[in-house]
Amino acid sequence: MSQQDRSSLPTRYGVIGKPISHSKSPAIHTVFAQQTKQALTYAAFEVEEADLEAFVREFFAGGGGGLNVTAPHKQGVFALAQVTTPRASLARAANTLYLDAKGHLVGDNTDGAGLLGDLAQNHGVKIAGKRLLMLGAGGATRGVLAAIADLPAAERPATITVANRTLEKAEALATDFAGKLSVTASSYAQAGETCYDILINGTSAGFGGELPPLSPAALGEGCCCYDMMY
């Protein structure tokens, strides 16, 4: 991309969530901008759920170029999007918002693709044939399951269990993926009765310094534990 092309790009971006003070996105995207020689501002915005729609509308009406989205707004912004990518549609959650050439609000979900790429490329962990436990039934978990559903059958885990504090929410998620992916809904207590090869924490418990109430017995020998929240 030429310098002239870069100068025509929007310059205002950000990330929204609640809480949001933990986010490293402003620092990360500032470095990206410096590396690509693009002048932009990228800020973190703490947004209440009740104010979500108004904030998104005003941000893009004011010339905003794009928003990243973190907990608890991924499912909320999916509902606001006028156009959704196939992976966001399958997840019914979005972590990225932008306007297309027609000015339509587009929702995408890169959670799953990013996680699977990190596991395989940076950590040498393959999910094929493994017993996978996902903790949490929110937007982050939905994004991961959507990416797995897009894989050939031979590259998928042998079993996928989603454990959540509220069992009904995990059951609703399993129902949403029925016909696309076999997902077992579980409480934390039930999940602790089985051993797993890969455990992925998609909850926001870490924001408050907590750990999901899962028995250590769930960790199989050599189990890979991955936390999606920093």
Q: Which residues are catalytic?
A: 74
Alpha helices in the chain (DSSP H): 3-7, 25-35, 52-61, 74-80, 86-91, 111-117, 123, 139-149, 167-176, 188-191
Alpha-carbon distance of 33 to 31, in angstroms, equals: 5
Neighbours of 122 (CB within 10 A): 8
Alpha-carbon distance of 196 to 130, in angstroms, equals: 8
Cβ–Cβ < 8 Å for 69, 16: yes
